[in-house]
């Protein structure tokens, strides 16, 4: 079964080509079948491959498949080759399965949109690119998928391009992520120059043989790859594009900004763990950036009014948890949270889309309210996802994955009490902001008028994801539940185990209890503030201090304002000073010469056949004379 792995990215790519070529002439039902069907087949094959991989593992727990040679020049080779191990398998199954549910949801959500076939073409291309990214056996193929998802994010964020604000959001996402991508490209040049290959497994082996831990070259290479990861995963200081990316259709937010593209940076660091282990200062930076990001984004989420922007800042914060885990060497914990986050965050976005659709595209949570009786399926599934995000103890997947990160932040040899405290504070903020959303949207007085109820194709993905947002956590049972680390045991065939600190105090069970108490306290505080004492909170928000603080955190701590004044405006002024320099005059002269030749040659086109014949004869005479006399 493993030899069919090439079909997994090929099927969505084939769907893209079919929809791009003939999609506009197809009925919507056929478009839906092609768009969702190809991704569904890819998901089915992924799960069959996963079952075969786990029941009958290949030698050394990896399978490689070289399809054809891509580049072979001057001793450098790069194949179109796929590499499947536990890490790639997890990413492949999650991406295809969640993408299929989102595609199924989209067949109803986007049914009235004029760009129906174009939407599914872009979505299929995105899924194909993401699968190429996670299955690529070398960094060049990974980078191809990396840039592919960047292109598709631009197309999907700006899908409704007739609104200039949507186009601006797409451009912002494209430009900000290109900053990281440029650094990553430089990192690839450094690696291939010094190590002679971009094959991932060969590269990490050569790096371990050629470089000492903490030497300059691995630190430089890892730092450049980290910059690429920061851009793609929207981490400090390149996080500003993600909240504005909510301009795209809600299924886009669920796919790109919850389950796939924003986790590409997490995957890159995990995949290149051998290189990062040679650069301890960079790993420390990963942990610190993750901890800072989860706090900054958590506070911003608490101040948003747009339902999708709350979830956008939440995504930034939860990716911060994954970076924190990577930075302390808890590779499997990061991937465990990737899996649970993909389930509950895509469910939150899809639930938000159902609400927005029902209220005629209303996004303001304070214009909603009282929806739990009118949208019961959406309410209960959204509540499950919110509880999982908040880490509601014992019964939600998010509790187990987040607790594993917190425990490793404390107990790992690379961890520290400060990192643990930051993670715990972020968990407290998470419970408050997500249940602020729940209590504001589904409880209290009704403010919006519901126009239509979601149908079956929207409800099925919500219910499936809600079930998984609960049961998925039990694949990594902690000590007090019998200590069955099935997930870690499987992932450690591809990733190293975290190194425990020799001076750890306290037990994992104690820390799990503390995390559960914090989650419950946050939910209880949200209940008091946003349901029982709502008027008091409103009065506090109307005070001078409250307004200033809310405004500051609402705009994401002023990063856009800072970048605008420190980077963008000076660059524009510099361009204005340089617009008439000698370089422009050179190119202006070239353009003038081209126009002059154009006018001279066009003047010979008179339409007089005798002049054409005379010209031909004259030219022939000149050529004969040159041949005779020269």
H-helix segments, 196-306: 200-210, 216-232, 241-244, 250-254, 264-271, 273-277, 280-301
Q: Quick one: average pLDDT of 356-374?
A: 89
**Are the C-beta atoms of residues 390 and 522 closer than 8 Å to each other?**
yes
Rounded Cα–Cα distance for residues 324 and 349 (Å): 24
**Are the C-beta atoms of residues 21 and 52 closer than 8 Å to each other?**
no
**Are the C-beta atoms of residues 170 and 158 closer than 8 Å to each other?**
yes
Cα–Cα distances in Å, from 368 out to 305, 375, 390, 582? Answer: 11, 12, 22, 59
Residue 490, strand partner residues: none
Q: Is 345 helix (H, G, I), strand (E, B) or coil?
A: helix
User: pLDDT band for position 568 (50/70/90)?
Assistant: confident
Rounded Cα–Cα distance for residues 320 and 323 (Å): 5
Instruction: State pTM to two decimals.
Output: 0.91
Residue 68, strand partner residues: 80
Q: Is 43 exposed, middle or buried (0-12, 13-18, 19+ CB in 10 A)?
A: buried
Tokens standing for residue 337 = 């949270």
Q: Which residues of 263-280 are buried (b: 16+ CB within 10 A; e: fewer)?
A: bbbbbbbbbbbbbbbbbb
User: pLDDT band for position 626 (50/70/90)?
Assistant: confident
Q: Quick check: bond before 237 cis, omega within 30? A: yes
User: pLDDT band for position 535 (50/70/90)?
Assistant: low
What pLDDT is attached to residue 585?
79
Sequence-separated (6 or more) residues with CB below 8 Å from residue 466 = 347, 380, 381, 384, 385
Q: Quick one: average pLDDT of 471-480?
A: 86
- Dihedral sign for Cα atoms in the order 330, 336, 341, 346: positive
User: pLDDT band for position 90 (50/70/90)?
Assistant: very high
- From the centroid of its chain, how far is CA 566? 27
pLDDT reading at 583 higher than 80: no
pLDDT tens per residue across span 194-245: 999 999 999 999 999 999 999 999 999 999 999 999 999 999 999 999 999 9
Rounded Cα–Cα distance for residues 87 and 94 (Å): 11
- From the centroid of its chain, how far is CA 239? 11
- Dihedral sign for Cα atoms in the order 584, 585, 586, 592: positive
What pLDDT is attached to residue 542?
64
Sequence-separated (6 or more) residues with CB below 8 Å from residue 511 = 403, 406, 407, 410
**Are the C-beta atoms of residues 310 and 433 closer than 8 Å to each other?**
yes
**Are the C-beta atoms of residues 138 and 200 closer than 8 Å to each other?**
yes
Ramachandran sector of residue 391 (left: φ over 0; alpha: ψ -120 to 50; beta: rest)? left
pLDDT reading at 448 higher than 90: no
Within a 10 A sphere around the Cβ of 612, how many other Cβ atoms?
13
Rounded Cα–Cα distance for residues 164 and 162 (Å): 6
pLDDT tens per residue across span 92-122: 999 999 999 999 999 999 998 999 999 999 9
What's the chain's Rg over C-alpha atoms?
Answer: 28
User: pLDDT band for position 573 (50/70/90)?
Assistant: confident
Residue 78, strand partner residues: 71
Sequence-separated (6 or more) residues with CB below 8 Å from residue 182 = none
H-helix segments, 110-138: 116-135
Per the prediction, the chain carries an average pLDDT of 91
Rounded Cα–Cα distance for residues 20 and 23 (Å): 6
């Amino acid at each position: 079964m493993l030899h069919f792995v090439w079909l997994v990215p090929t099927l969505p790519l084939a769907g893209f080509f079919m929809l791009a070529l003939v999609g506009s002439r197809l009925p919507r039902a056929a478009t839906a079948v092609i768009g969702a069907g190809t991704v569904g087949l890819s998901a089915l094959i992924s799960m069959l491959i996963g079952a075969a991989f786990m029941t009958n593992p290949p030698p050394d727990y990896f399978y490689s498949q070289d399809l054809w040679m891509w580049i072979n020049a001057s001793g450098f080779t790069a194949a179109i080759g796929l590499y499947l191990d536990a890490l790639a398998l997890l990413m492949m199954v999650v991406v295809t399965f969640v993408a299929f549910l989102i595609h199924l949801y989209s067949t109803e959500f986007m049914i009235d949109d004029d760009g129906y076939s174009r939407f599914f073409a872009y979505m299929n291309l995105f899924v194909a690119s993401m699968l190429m990214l996670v299955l690529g056996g070398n960094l060049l193929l990974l980078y191809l998928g990396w840039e592919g998802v960047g292109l598709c994010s631009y197309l999907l964020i700006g899908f409704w391009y007739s609104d200039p604000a949507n186009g601006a959001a797409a451009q912002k996402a494209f430009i900000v992520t290109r900053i990281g991508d440029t650094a990553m490209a430089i990192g690839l040049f450094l690696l291939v120059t010094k190590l002679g290959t971009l094959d991932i497994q060969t590269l990490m082996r050569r790096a371990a043989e050629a470089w000492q831990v903490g030497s300059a070259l691995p630190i430089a290479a890892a730092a450049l790859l980290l910059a690429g990861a920061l851009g793609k995963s929207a981490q400090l200081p390149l996080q500003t594009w993600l909240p504005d990316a909510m301009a795209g259709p809600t299924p886009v937010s669920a796919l790109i900004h919850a389950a796939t593209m924003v986790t590409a940076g997490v995957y890159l660091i995990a995949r290149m763990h051998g290189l990062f282990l040679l650069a301890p200062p960079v790993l420390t930076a990963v942990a610190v950036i993750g901890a800072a990001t989860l706090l900054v984004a958590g506070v911003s989420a608490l101040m948003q009014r747009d339902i999708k922007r709350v979830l956008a800042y939440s995504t930034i914060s939860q990716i911060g948890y994954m970076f924190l885990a990577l930075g302390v060497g808890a590779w499997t914990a990061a991937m465990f949270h990737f899996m649970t986050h993909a389930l509950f965050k895509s469910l939150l976005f899809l639930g938000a889309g159902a609400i927005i659709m029902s209220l005629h595209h209303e996004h303001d949570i304070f214009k909603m309210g009282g929806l739990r009786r009118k949208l019961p399926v959406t309410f209960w599934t959204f509540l499950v996802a919110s509880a999982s995000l908040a880490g509601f103890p014992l019964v939600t997947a998010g509790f187990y994955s987040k607790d594993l990160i917190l425990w490793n932040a404390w107990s790992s040899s690379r961890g520290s009490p400060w990192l643990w405290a930051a993670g715990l504070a972020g968990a407290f903020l998470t419970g408050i902001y997500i249940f602020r959303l729940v209590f504001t949207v589904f409880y209290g007085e009704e403010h919006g008028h519901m126009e239509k109820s979601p149908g079956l194709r929207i409800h099925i993905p919500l219910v499936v994801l809600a079930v998984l947002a609960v049961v998925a956590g039990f694949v990594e049972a902690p000590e007090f539940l019998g200590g069955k680390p099935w997930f870690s045991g499987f992932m450690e065939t591809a990733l190293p185990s975290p190194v425990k600190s020799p001076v750890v105090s306290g037990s994992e069970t104690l820390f799990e209890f503390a995390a559960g108490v914090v989650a419950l306290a946050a939910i209880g505080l949200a209940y008091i503030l946003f349901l029982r004492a709502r008027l008091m909170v409103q009065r506090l928000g109307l005070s001078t201090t409250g307004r200033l603080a809310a405004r500051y955190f609402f705009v994401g701590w002023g990063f856009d304002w800072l970048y605008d004044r420190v980077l963008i405006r000076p660059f524009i002024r510099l361009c204005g000073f340089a617009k008439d320099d000698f370089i422009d005059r050179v190119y202006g002269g070239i353009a003038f010469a081209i126009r002059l030749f154009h006018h001279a040659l066009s003047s010979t086109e008179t339409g007089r056949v005798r002049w054409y014949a005379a010209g031909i004869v004259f030219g022939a005479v000149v050529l004969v004379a040159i041949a005779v006399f020269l």
